[in-house]
Amino acid sequence: MFKRDIESDFLRFLRSSAANVERLSDGVRQALNVATGIEEVVRTALRAKRDVVIAGTAGSGKTHLLRTLTGEDLTGYRVIPDLAAHPQYEWSRVFDGTQPAIVAGNEGAFLQGASAGFERYSQIVAILHATQRGEVFEDPSAPVVIDVAAFDPAGSRVLRQMVRVEMLANYVKETKSDEERIAWDMLSDDLVVGRLESLVDTASTSGKGEGFTFRQLWKFVGELVGGNPSKFWFEKLHTEEGEVASRIAQVFFPNSFCFPHIGNHMWHGDMAYLRGKFLPAAEPLLEMLVSQIQDRAYGADERNNTFDRLRLLALFGLKVSPLDDHWRFSTDLWANVRQLQVRPLIESLNRYLSYGLIDLGDELELWCQHDSERKTQKPKVLMSMGRVASKEFSIVRSRVFNNLDPSKTSLVGCRYVLRHLASAANVVITKDLLDAITKPRSFKTDDRLGVEYDWRVLRFVMQVASNAATPDKLRVIEFDFLKRSANTYAWQISAERIRRVAS
């Protein structure tokens, strides 16, 4: 039974513009608890009596994680729920070795401790940075660091657990109309909820590709279950105002999907044909909408509106939906990066840096751009200080925890980093960077936005070149921007002479 005292707390949480776990009652928090695997990492560290640091941005779930731990878990531990709120004069004593500590806090607070000269905090910051770069750190005497912000709830498919929370189901059952309840029940089907998860996952990579926090996802769930009562959840998912819905709107265009075999049947309300095409979970809503389509008293506008709802229902409720192919056959660069494929990324970087004028293959050219003046156009001649094969790089995902046996869990973070293995040079790969490098690079200095992405890439190239440049081979590329062409030359350099070789 849905309890009234919990209900008001729960509703406040769902409707709040900044849903805040700190203000939740224990009852609601327990009810909303979603297993992520991080809890087990913390318990493993606690059993080993290690110092534990839980870092993360606001809304990433630090407080919630701490509160999932029982008194038994924390026996003998010094617990600091928020380092920033802890008196600074006591910071030096937090990790004094007299008692193991578990400390949660914004990353900024740990950096502040490091700046103040506390050695332990500097070490924590170093581990945190390694975690974000996807590097393994091992020192049993140092704290186990958990970067909750790196956990990607959207990519880790926890949304299905969230929409299926019992309290939510009870809430819908007791407070929503039959139509809304029937629509919500569709989410009990794995295929339907899987499509919703894929959509949210794709949206999480739009913009700067930094993923969503638990808080944002809960707000999204609140919007789906609440909001405009005349709309179904699949109509609200890209029209509400929250961060998740806004980013879905950037990647989800319902009108772009075709229904070549069932479009006519939907328009004419051919229920006999449609029934076998839809999942059983979607059939009740299908019947309801089809009956409206069949209603001859319906005006043209109403019929069009209902048809639009049917199309949306079909996207999520069909046994075989065009949404599935949309993701399965997506071959864009971001999809490649998410599959940790280095080669397409290197090819794109090469193509971008050479203004798309020449195909340079899948070995990263180490371009040296050393002009210092702001001219109207960029230099026509670039020199490459060497080439590095794709296999010398890897795309790694950031880690969620560090300094604990990584075999304990398969948790991975939401950030992607391109790393040169020999030099450990790395560059964070975000969706906006990929959007920039898949467009043509401008040879005009006035195109300033591109200049900033150029710098992110060229800084990485410089770091790689510092390690991988070879003194005996020089490759030169000469661009003709007007003719859209390029020539390459290669030189063999020795102490006695320079000799042209095949490029």
Partner 1 sequence: MSTKLRSIEVLRLANECLVGQYPDRVVPTFVFHQFAAPLFEPDGDLVHLISTLAFNPNWCACKSRKIAQIIPSVANDQAALVSTMQGLLNPDRRLFLANATKTATVGSSNTFPLIAGLIIRGGADEGLGRRCFRVLKHFHPDSLQILINLLSPEEAFDPVTALALTLSGDQRRFVEQDWCNRTNEESTEFTEFDKNCADFLKNLISSIGHAGRIYAIRDLEIGLQFIGLLQMTSGFVARCSGTIPNIFVYGGMPPGPANDMRVRFSSSSFSEWISGIWRSIGERLKAVIESYPSLPNEAPAKVFFQQLRIALVNQKTRDKDLRVLLEAVSGFLDEQDDDWTIFDLLEDALNFPPSELARRVRALGQSIGFTAPDRGEGSVRLVLDTPLLNVLIRGAIGNSTMNFEDFISSVSRRFGLVIGPGSDDSVMASFNGQPDAGVYELLLLNQDSLQERLLRAGFARAYSDSHTEVLPHSLS
User: Residues in the site for partner 1, rule: CB under 8 A?
Assistant: 56-58, 106-108, 111, 115, 129, 149, 366, 368-375, 379-383, 385-386, 427-428, 432, 448-449, 451-456, 459-460, 462-463, 465-467, 469-474, 476, 478, 487, 489, 491, 493-500
Nearest to 212 by CA among 244, 185, 183: 244
Nearer residue to partner 1 within complex by CB, 374 or 483: 374
Nearer residue to partner 1 within complex by CB, 24 or 418: 418
Output the 3-class SS for 302-348: HHHHHHHHHHHHHHHHECCCHHHHHHHCCCCHHHHHHCCCHHHHHHH
* Least distance (Å) between residue 493 CB and partner 1: 5
CB of 461 within 8 A of CB of 346? Answer: no
How does DSSP assign 167-181, residue by residue?
Answer: HHHHHHHHHS-HHHH
Nearer residue to partner 1 within complex by CB, 193 or 477: 477
3 state SS of 104: strand
- What distance in Å separates the CA atoms of residue 59 and residue 213, rounded to the nearest whole number? 6
Distances in Å between the Cα of 401 and the Cα atoms of 2, 138, 149, 356, 427 are 37, 11, 10, 40, 20
Nearer residue to partner 1 within complex by CB, 380 or 484: 380
Tokens of 5: 């005292």
Helix (H) or strand (E) holding 109, with range, is helix 107-115
* Least distance (Å) between residue 106 CB and partner 1: 4
* Least distance (Å) between residue 435 CB and partner 1: 12
Nearer residue to partner 1 within complex by CB, 251 or 469: 469
Nearer residue to partner 1 within complex by CB, 262 or 368: 368
Nearer residue to partner 1 within complex by CB, 340 or 493: 493
* Least distance (Å) between residue 216 CB and partner 1: 13
Distances in Å between the Cα of 119 and the Cα atoms of 34, 91, 95, 108, 383 are 35, 11, 10, 16, 43
How many beta carbons lie within 10 A of that of residue 56, not counting itself? Answer: 24
Helix (H) or strand (E) holding 367, with range, is strand 363-368
* Least distance (Å) between residue 479 CB and partner 1: 10
Eight-class DSSP state of 359: -
* Least distance (Å) between residue 293 CB and partner 1: 48
Strands 52-55 and 144-147, by their bridges, are parallel
Nearer residue to partner 1 within complex by CB, 343 or 456: 456
* Least distance (Å) between residue 373 CB and partner 1: 4
Eight-class DSSP state of 498: E
- What distance in Å separates the CA atoms of residue 218 and residue 500, rounded to the nearest whole number? 63
CB of 380 within 8 A of CB of 478? Answer: yes
* Least distance (Å) between residue 118 CB and partner 1: 16
Nearer residue to partner 1 within complex by CB, 35 or 424: 424
What one-letter code names the amino acid at 500?
R
* Least distance (Å) between residue 378 CB and partner 1: 10
